[in-house]
C-alpha cells in the first residue's frame, strides 16, 4: 500500500488540500483594506525573494501578498534554510510601505509586529498558545517543551519592507526538520485548516500594522511594545546572545526597549541592549560579555 504522505498519492489532497485563491481573495481583499493583491504559487524558491525582486523593479503595490504551497529555498535569519513538505505549512510574504508617516528608524519593529500579529491570529483561529522568542521565532509547547514552529523574516526592498512568515502547520513528528522543531498539529491545535489560519493571520497583521502606522510607528503608543513583551518567552530568563564578531553576552533578559532591542542585565550590573544576534535560552548562568 502506498503511504498516505507519498508524493503524488491520489488521496494526498484529502490530508493536505491545496489553498483556494479565489476564496482567500474574497475574504481578504477589500477596497478600503490593506491587502491589494493575493497570489498563490504551487512552488517557489522563496516568497520573500520573489516579492523583493518585484519591489525592486517598482512593480509592486503596498499590500501585495504572495503565498506558496511549497518553498524549496525558504530562508530564515542568517540565511538559514526553511523547508517543509508541500502544503504542510504557511509560507507567506507581504509587502509593506510605511512611507513618510513612519520614520525609517522605526521600521525595525515590523518583524516584531508580525510576530505579535501571527501569534494573536493563531490563538484565535487554532487555539494555540504561541510564544515569541526574540527577535522573530514563533514557539509552541509540545510534550512540555518549547519547540520552534515558525519564524519571521523582514527585508528592505524597493520603497518598503517584505515581511515573510513561515509556519509549520500539519507536520508530523517524523517530518520535523530538527529535534527542536514543532508544528501546530503537534501542539494540539483545534484547527489546521490553512485557509482559516491564513485569513486569521492576515487580518491580525492588517489590524496591528494599521495601529502602529497610525501612531507614527510609536511602538509604545500603539500598544505593540507591551503586547510583544507580554508574549515574549525570552524575557525574565537567563539567555546568551551570540553577537556578530564572535562575541557573546550572557545575562537575564529584562526588557524590550523602545527600539525593539532586547535588554540584558549582566552579572557585572550593566544593562546591555542587543539589537541583533542569536538568542539561546539558558537554565541558569552567570552574566558577562565574552
CB-CB contact of 121 with 196 (8 Å): no
pLDDT interval class at 77 (50, 70, 90): low
pLDDT in tens, 235-250: 999 999 999 888 999 9
pLDDT interval class at 74 (50, 70, 90): low
Average pLDDT over residues 251-261: 98
Average pLDDT over residues 4-28: 77
pLDDT at 59: 86
Average pLDDT over residues 142-171: 97
pLDDT at 290: 38
Pairing of the two strands 81-82 and 89-96: unpaired
Closest CA to 170 of 268, 266, 69: 69
State the residue for C-alpha cell 526538520.
177
Domains of the chain: residue spans and CATH = 12-231 (3.30.930.10), 238-289 (2.30.30)
Q: Is the dihedral of CA 94, 215, 117, 260 positive or negative?
A: positive
pLDDT at 160: 97
pLDDT in tens, 78-136: 556 667 899 999 999 999 999 889 999 999 999 999 999 999 999 999 999 999 999 99
Q: Is the dihedral of CA 52, 55, 59, 62 positive or negative?
A: positive
pLDDT interval class at 166 (50, 70, 90): very high
pLDDT at 272: 95
Whether 4 shows a pLDDT value over 60: the answer reads no
Q: How far is it, in rounded angstroms, from Cα 218 to Cα 88?
A: 36
Average pLDDT over residues 154-159: 96
Instruction: Specify the pTM.
Output: 0.91
Amino acid at each position: 500500500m502506498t503511504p498516505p504522505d507519498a508524493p503524488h498519492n491520489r488521496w494526498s489532497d484529502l490530508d493536505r488540500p491545496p489553498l483556494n485563491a479565489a476564496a482567500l481573495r474574497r475574504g481578504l481583499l477589500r477596497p478600503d483594506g490593506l491587502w491589494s493583491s493575493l497570489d498563490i504559487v504551487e512552488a517557489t524558491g522563496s516568497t520573500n525573494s520573489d516579492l523583493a525582486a518585484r519591489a525592486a523593479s517598482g512593480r509592486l503595490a503596498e499590500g501585495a501578498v504572495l503565498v506558496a504551497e511549497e518553498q524549496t529555498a525558504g530562508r530564515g535569519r542568517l540565511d538559514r534554510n526553511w523547508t517543509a513538505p508541500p502544503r504542510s505549512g504557511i509560507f507567506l510574504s507581504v509587502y509593506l510601505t510605511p512611507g513618510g508617516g513612519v520614520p525609517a528608524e522605526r521600521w525595525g519593529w515590523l518583524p516584531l509586529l508580525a510576530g505579535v500579529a501571527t501569534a494573536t491570529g493563531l490563538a484565535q483561529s487554532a487555539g494555540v498558545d504561541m510564544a515569541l522568542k526574540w527577535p522573530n521565532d514563533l514557539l509552541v509547547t509540545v510534550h512540555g517543551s518549547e519547540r520552534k514552529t515558525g519564524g519571521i523574516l523582514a527585508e528592505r526592498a524597493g520603497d518598503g519592507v517584505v515581511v515573510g512568515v513561515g509556519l509549520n502547520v500539519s507536520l508530523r513528528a517524523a517530518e520535523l526538520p530538527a529535534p527542536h522543531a514543532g508544528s501546530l498539529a503537534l501542539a494540539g491545535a483545534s484547527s489546521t485548516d490553512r485557509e482559516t489560519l491564513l485569513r486569521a493571520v492576515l487580518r491580525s497583521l492588517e489590524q496591528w500594522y494599521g495601529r502602529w502606522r497610525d501612531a507614527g510607528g510609536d511602538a509604545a503608543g500603539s500598544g505593540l511594545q507591551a503586547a510583544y513583551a507580554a508574549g515574549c518567552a525570552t524575557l525574565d530568563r537567563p539567555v546568551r546572545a551570540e553577537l556578530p564578531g564572535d562575541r557573546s553576552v550572557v545575562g537575564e533578559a529584562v526588557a524590550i526597549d523602545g527600539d525593539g532591542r532586547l535588554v540584558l542585565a549582566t552579572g557585572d550590573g550593566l544593562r546591555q541592549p542587543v539589537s541583533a544576534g542569536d538568542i539561546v535560552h539558558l537554565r541558569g548562568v552567570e552574566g558577562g560579555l565574552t
